[in-house]
Amino acid sequence: MADVPGPLSAFVVGEIRRARGASGMTQEAFGRAAGFSASHVSAVEGTTRALTIDFIKGADRALHNGGLFERLATKFGAPSWFLPWLDAEREATQLRYFEPTLIPGLLQVEHYARTVLRTVENLTDDEVEQRVEGRMSRQAILTGERRPQFVAVLDEAAIRRTGDGLGGIMAEQVAHLITMAELPHVHVHVIPIASGLHIGLSGPFALARSGEGVWVGHLENQLGGDVVDKDDEVATLQARWESVRNEALPRRQSIDLLKEVESHHGPQ
């Protein structure tokens, strides 16, 4: 579960293992009830395989606990609507993100992420910090051994945002974008403001391609988000991706623009 902080993920796995033992279920019996093989259960309990929302839901079913573990993961990790996308993101061989107003979470620095999350008024300080920690740990997919090809398209407005106390944070954020954009498997493209109106201004979206070649999409809105897996809907997102990608500057020109923007950001 990529967006749950490591200690919480380990805690949930430990609690599932203890609950399974207390119920007298072997890994094989538990796996049958949860919908997983005994080897899969063993790998999750041994922390050699990632904890996923599907496994958590299966554990809740097997243990008849009324969804306790899913509520726990949702409360302290990530919103329940986001967890299926995190599974797709973690397993992807290719990732494509379009963001018209913000920096994608996988490319955010800690100070920027914290500032963004603090705009959500119903989050407590502890919940903000838990989500910041989760977002930072989630970024490991870009630096791990099995790195996906990552392509992000941003609108220039997202990197030029200013405001009280934001200058220093944006300078740090844009510097990080430049560092990431120069990695061979990371491509950052910027749509210049001069491009005017384009289809991407309707909202952010993301696409993930699995190792089996299956594409899924993700859409966020003010109330949550949705994983998109129907062929016609994925095709629509892919067409929109081509549109926004065609509006963006090439990779090297985008990095040059990021460097120009970095030079104008500073403490305010």
Contact 171, 160 (CB under 8 A): no
pLDDT in tens, the chain (268 residues): 334 445 567 778 888 998 999 999 999 999 999 999 999 999 888 877 778 778 888 999 999 988 888 877 766 555 555 667 777 888 899 999 999 999 999 999 999 999 998 888 877 888 788 788 878 888 888 988 889 999 999 999 999 887 777 778 999 999 999 999 999 999 999 999 888 778 877 889 999 999 899 999 998 876 667 888 899 999 999 999 999 999 999 999 999 999 999 887 754 4
C-alpha neighbours within 13 Å on the C-beta side of residue 183: 17
Residues 6+ apart with CB under 8 A from 136: 110, 113
Contact 240, 205 (CB under 8 A): yes
11's tokens: 């805690």
Residues in the chain: 268
- Establish if 109 belongs to a structural domain: yes
Distance CA 133, CA 114 (A): 9
According to the model, what pLDDT value does residue 72 have? 73
Question: Residue 232 sits in which domain range?
Answer: 83-264
159 and 202 part of one domain: yes
Q: What is the DSSP string of 130-190?
A: HHHHHHHHHGGGGTSSSPPEEEEEEEHHHHS---TTHHHHHHHHHHHHHHHHTSTTEEEEE
17 and 95 part of one domain: no
161 and 91 part of one domain: yes
The dihedral formed by the CA atoms of 182, 187, 193 and 195, expressed in degrees to the nearest 10? 130
Helix axes 251-264, 166-181, angle to 10 degrees: 160
- Exposure string of 236-254, with b = 16+ CB inside 10 Å and e = fewer, is ebeebbeebbebbbebeeb
Contact 69, 12 (CB under 8 A): yes
According to the model, what pLDDT value does residue 82 have? 65
34 and 95 part of one domain: no
According to the model, what pLDDT value does residue 1 have? 37
According to the model, what pLDDT value does residue 88 have? 82
Q: What is the 3-state secondary structure (H, E, C) of 18-42?
A: HHHHHCCCCHHHHHHHHCCCHHHHH
93 and 46 part of one domain: no
According to the model, what pLDDT value does residue 3 have? 40
- Indicate the residue among 51, 76, 101 that finishes a domain: 76
Report the predicted TM-score, pTM, of the whole model to 2 decimal places: 0.70
183 and 90 part of one domain: yes
